[in-house]
């Protein structure tokens, strides 16, 4: 999958952008505040329907405008181009289109444009909440297990109803029973989806981690969200009184986590900031490799301010892996020559350069 056209209108300071990216490497340079990251943000909006910088939609819309639009053409496996787009208004209305037709949710966009982001927020993978790591593993599960997303939506609905019942002063067991039964079935289904994806991910990650970090004792483990020695139906039954007391379901797939340790201690508490960055890069590259291995497709990588996040040696290592994967890449940075330097020893790749200034994006000479 590659993005071979990107049109942006009224997104942050980008008034009107229409570019034809390279299917390989795109280097986007310009001063801080010029709009570089907003270009990556536009690609992410096309892929997920949301920004990686803000959960609010109003800051995304250019000053004095009522909406923003991002449109793209995605080259798919058979060589055809699929147009996809998103429009978001200041009132919060979101419209998603694929092939000229409205689609119900951003998930329909995600199926066409699988995107990986590496930026300063990426390091929350180690130090953030379990939700951040669940989202990380669920990205892979969503793209390789077609039954996952319907099950995930169903379990959100099920938990909402069960938690509502738990907050009642008196619970009718006959009213709770069907929700418990459905919750058990969905939880076990989601667990199996995650477990299989984690197994394949773990194999690739182990090899990449050795090259990226040179650390001994790195261990990746998957916690399913409840006691590994008990089945979920037993856990639900045993925790009913406590669940009712606090008003929500404590255990289940919604509590799953990806645990990353170094010699038995949490990586976020043990590693230096630089080591954490390398470990997260290994996680992100491994995810793209596994996705490609399972599906035969390639994800698009968005790397924001690469020179600020990694030193020259480790930039070269990341670039080497991106080149080996043969994936489409968008990388931002302030200095054109610094960005370009990491690719000069790869004659098979000719990056496209884009200069961003005051919200305008123009292709620059190589």
Closest CA to 125 of 258, 220, 216: 258
Average pLDDT for 41-47:
94
In this prediction, residue 78 carries a pLDDT of 84
User: What pTM did the predictor assign?
Assistant: 0.93
Mean of the per-residue pLDDT values of the chain = 92
Hey, what CATH class is 1-114+298-366 in? alpha beta
The conformational region for residue 64 under phi > 0 = left, psi -120 to 50 = alpha, else beta, is left
DSSP state of 62: P
Q: Taking residues 344-351, what's their average pLDDT?
A: 91
The percent of residues in the chain predicted with pLDDT above 90, rounded, is 68
pLDDT of res. 306: 84
Predicted pLDDT of residue 56: 81
Domain ranges of the chain: 1-114+298-366
What's the pLDDT at 130?
Answer: 94
pLDDT digits (tens, 9 = 90+) for 223-277: 999 999 999 999 999 999 999 999 999 999 999 999 999 999 999 898 888 888 8
Residue 221 pLDDT greater than 90, yes or no: yes
């Amino acid at each position: 999958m590659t993005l071979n056209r990107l049109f942006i209108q009224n997104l942050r300071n980008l008034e009107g952008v229409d570019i034809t990216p390279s299917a390989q490497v795109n280097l986007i340079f310009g001063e801080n505040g010029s709009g570089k990251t907003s270009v990556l943000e536009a690609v992410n909006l096309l892929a997920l329907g949301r920004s990686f910088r803000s959960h609010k939609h109003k800051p995304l819309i250019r000053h004095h405008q009522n909406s923003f639009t991002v449109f793209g053409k995605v080259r798919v496996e058979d060589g055809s181009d699929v147009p996809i787009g998103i429009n978001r208004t200041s009132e919060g209305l979101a419209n998603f289109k694929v092939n000229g037709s409205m689609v119900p949710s951003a998930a329909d966009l995600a199926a066409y444009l699988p995107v990986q982001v590496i930026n300063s927020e990426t390091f929350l993978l180690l130090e953030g909440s379990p939700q951040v790591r669940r989202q990380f593993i669920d990205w892979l599960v969503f793209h390789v297990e077609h039954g996952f997303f319907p099950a995930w939506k169903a379990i959100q609905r099920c938990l909402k109803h069960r938690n509502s019942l738990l907050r009642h002063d008196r619970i009718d067991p006959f009213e709770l029973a069907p929700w418990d039964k459905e919750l058990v079935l969905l939880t076990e289904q989601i667990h199996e989806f995650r477990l299989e994806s984690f197994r394949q991910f773990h194999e690739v990650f182990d090899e990449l981690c050795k090259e990226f970090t040179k650390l001994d004792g790195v261990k990746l483990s998957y916690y399913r969200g409840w006691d590994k020695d008990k089945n979920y139906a037993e856990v639900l039954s045993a925790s009913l009184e406590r669940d009712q007391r606090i008003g929500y379901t404590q255990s289940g797939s919604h509590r799953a986590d990806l645990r990353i340790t170094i010699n038995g201690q949490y990586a976020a508490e043990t590693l230096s900031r630089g080591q954490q960055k390398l470990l997260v890069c290994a996680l992100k590259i491994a995810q793209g490799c596994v996705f490609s291995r399972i599906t035969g497709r390639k994800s698009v990588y968005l790397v924001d301010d690469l020179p600020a996040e990694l030193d020259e040696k480790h930039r070269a290592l990341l670039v080497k892996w991106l080149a080996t994967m043969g994936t489409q890449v968008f990388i931002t940075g302030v200095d054109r020559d610094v960005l370009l330097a990491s690719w000069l020893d790869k004659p098979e790749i000719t990056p496209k350069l884009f200069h961003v200034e005051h919200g305008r994006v123009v292709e620059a000479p190589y």
